[in-house]
């Protein structure tokens, strides 16, 4: 008698029309409010799993499994010794998916809002990775939730809006609040562009596969708020020189701002988007040394944009 858990992975329908038929059978109309654009392109699927660098036995937390096409590939990648914990907000899909994966004990479907989830209760003590086709409207919130979490993932491999992925991976002189915020916690890599035709229904914009290797932040948690308040102040008017932008938003004199920039070896005539992460960290240290308060510049969390960035692609 074979006591090993079953390892058969359900075959994914090969054509978008087949997925549309499943939606009709389930009487589900994709919800724009929930950002339901279901990935159906198997080539893109393979690239996501490849970028995730999954190994047998790993624990994967999937956000928004939808119809389960990515879940299928994840279950195959981690094998019978791994775990795929898929959190689905839509109750209709959360009821359907356990039937689809009934013979795979390594797949667990959880109905709920990932942004309110108890990560420890979901994954236990094991290290975990995120692999997800994120609804566009929760991209920033998901980055904040996971990257700032006391138990962050080891890696995040996600589908995100093309323009957002580009901005996250930016380098000077194209930095933004979003780029600084994400790169504070992780090393992002733009893997590939994904056309709208890879989804059912097709979104109005292109997507991208984005991989983030999470790392220990360069500052202790107690200093995060002050650091991001400083970054926000610098990007508050991104077309202004950094000296003037800081002067407008910090409770500091012209002499103090000039001294902090000089201590960090930053030319005050530069603009915020030209500063590297190391320069922001040096400027933060200089502000602390000089006793410059950042309380007047309300700090943001990961992924939130300054008003001056509103003309860029919105998150």
If we measure between CA atoms, which residue out of 305, 227, 314, 225 comes closest to residue 273?
Answer: 305
Q: What angle do CA 103, 104, 108 make, to 5 degrees?
A: 120
Per-residue CA distances from 216 to 46, 118, 184, 191 (Å): 29, 21, 9, 22
Residue 106 has what pLDDT?
A: 96
- What is the predicted pLDDT for the residue at 22? 73
Q: Which two tokens stand for residue 160?
A: 């995100």
Please give the helix or strand (H or E) that residue 129 lies within, else none. Answer: strand 129-133
Burial of 289-305, coded b for 16+ CB within 10 Å and e otherwise, reads eeebebeebebbbbbbb
pLDDT averages per 10-residue partition of the chain, 315 residues:
40 58 72 74 92 97 92 95 96 92 95 95 95 88 95 96 96 96 98 92 91 97 95 86 93 95 98 97 97 69 44 33
Joined together, the tokens standing for residue 3 give 């006591």
Instruction: Please give the Cα distance from 311 to 179 (Å, whole number).
Output: 16
The whole-number pLDDT of residue 137 equals: 84
The whole-number pLDDT of residue 47 equals: 95
Closest CA relative to residue 235, chosen from 178, 177, 282: 177
């Amino acid at each position: 008698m074979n006591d090993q858990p079953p390892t058969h992975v359900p075959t994914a329908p090969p054509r978008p029309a087949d997925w549309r038929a499943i939606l009709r059978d389930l009487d589900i109309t994709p919800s724009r409010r929930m950002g339901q654009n279901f990935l159906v392109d198997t080539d893109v699927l393979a690239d996501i799993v490849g970028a995730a660098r999954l190994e047998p036995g790993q624990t994967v937390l999937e956000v928004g499994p939808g119809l389960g096409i990515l879940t299928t590939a994840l279950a195959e990648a981690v094998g019978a010794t791994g775990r795929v914990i898929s959190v689905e907000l839509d109750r209709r899909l959360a009821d359907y998916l356990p039937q689809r994966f009934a013979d795979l004990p390594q797949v667990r479907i959880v109905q709920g809002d990932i942004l309110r989830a108890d990560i420890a209760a979901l994954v236990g003590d094991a290290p975990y990775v995120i692999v997800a086709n994120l609804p566009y409207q929760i991209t920033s919130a998901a980055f904040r939730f996971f990257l700032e979490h006391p138990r962050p993932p080891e890696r995040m491999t996600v589908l995100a809006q093309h323009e957002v992925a580009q901005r996250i991976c930016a380098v000077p002189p194209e930095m933004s609040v979003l780029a600084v915020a994400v790169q504070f916690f992780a090393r992002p890599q733009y893997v590939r562009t994904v056309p709208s035709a890879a989804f059912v229904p097709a979104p109005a914009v292109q997507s991208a596969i984005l991989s983030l290797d999470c790392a220990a932040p360069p500052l202790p948690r107690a200093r995060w708020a002050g650091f991001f308040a400083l970054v926000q102040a610098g990007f508050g008017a991104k077309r202004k020189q950094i000296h003037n932008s800081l002067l407008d938003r910090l409770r500091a004199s012209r002499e103090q701002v000039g001294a902090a920039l000089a201590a960090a070896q930053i030319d005050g005539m530069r603009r915020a988007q030209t500063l590297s992460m190391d320069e922001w960290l040096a400027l933060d240290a200089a502000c602390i040394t000089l006793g410059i308060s950042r309380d007047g510049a309300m700090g943001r969390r990961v992924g939130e944009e300054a008003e001056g960035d509103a003309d860029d692609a919105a998150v």
